Homo-oligomer: A and B are copies of this chain.
Amino acid sequence: MAQRTEAGRRAPLNRDRVLRAAVALADETGIESLSMRKLAKQLGVVPMALYKHVASKEELLDGMVDAVIGEIDPPVGDTGWKTAVRRRVLSARQALLRHPWASRVIETRTNRTPVVLGYMDSMTGMFLAGGFSADLTHHVMHALGNRMWGFTRELFDDGQGGSPDPPPVTFDEMAKRYPHIVEVAMAATRGDPSAVGLGCDEQFEFEFALDLLLDGFERLRDRGWTSQRDRERAAAPPAAGQEA
């Protein structure tokens, strides 16, 4: 009988329980005070026991990020690309707000897990399905990156490079699992699959997004744009003194 674990035996740990406990503990006490030792204590176990389920604290953090990404709503169908992207990004924001440590941790990750790649692939697919060219999708993903969160940097150079023991994933495996990412990456490297790892022109991507924003700002200014809040303010009498 499995449920004689009620008192005598503690239910055995597994990776998932460890990750969930870590997320909960970070939510409660903050990421900077999350330690393997405290996490172990929380789980009623000795610190080294955790290492049977995660290879290191770094891997624990990777898993925690995956858990947060898992909370993001899947894409909705039936709406245009814009609504779909908008909803998805706002849902991502909600997930990050539930776990205030998450955005900071994401920024420190250097490996992209399959979960992260899957999220990126699905987002990429939304633009392609919305009639964006692979080229434009590429730049647009970069521009959106910092808003969705930080993992845009070096979007397409995965694993290979300085990393020891690059995971032996073939191009075909990548293409099957992350078709949209690969499509866009191929476009960015002028169709040369061997150049996919070489990254893109970060300076260009940065200026692309910057100019998009600056142009948008200018248009709003010229149109005399005003926020709802500000319109209310104009209609209401000024609050405290300060009207020199």
Contact = CB atoms under 8 A, between A and B. Distances in A.
B104 A242 contact: no
Contacts of A17: none
B230 A135 contact: yes
Interface in A208-225: 209-218, 220-221, 225
A213 B144 contact: yes
Interface in A126-144: 127, 130-133, 135-136, 139-140, 143-144
B85 A238 contact: no
Given A85-B214, A213-B213, A218-B82, A230 B191 contact: no
Interface in A200-244: 201, 204, 206-207, 209-218, 220-221, 225-227, 229-230, 232-233, 236, 238-240, 242-243
A217 B108 contact: no
Contacts of A147: 146, 206, 209-210, 213
A69 interface: no
Contacts of A70: none
A187 B230 contact: yes
A107 interface: yes
Interface string A30-67: 00000000000000000000000000000000000000
How many copies of the shown chain assemble into the complex?
2
Contact of A213 (B93, B107, B143, B226): B143
Most buried by B among A130, A135, A188, A226: A135
Contacts of A232: 190
A86 interface: yes
A240 B194 CA distance: 8
24 contacts: A86-B214, A89-B210, A90-B210, A93-B206, A103-B107, A104-B107, A127-B217, A132-B221, A133-B221, A136-B220, A139-B227, A140-B217, A143-B213, A147-B209, A186-B242, A187-B233, A188-B229, A190-B229, A190-B239, A191-B240, A192-B240, A194-B240, A212-B212, A215-B216
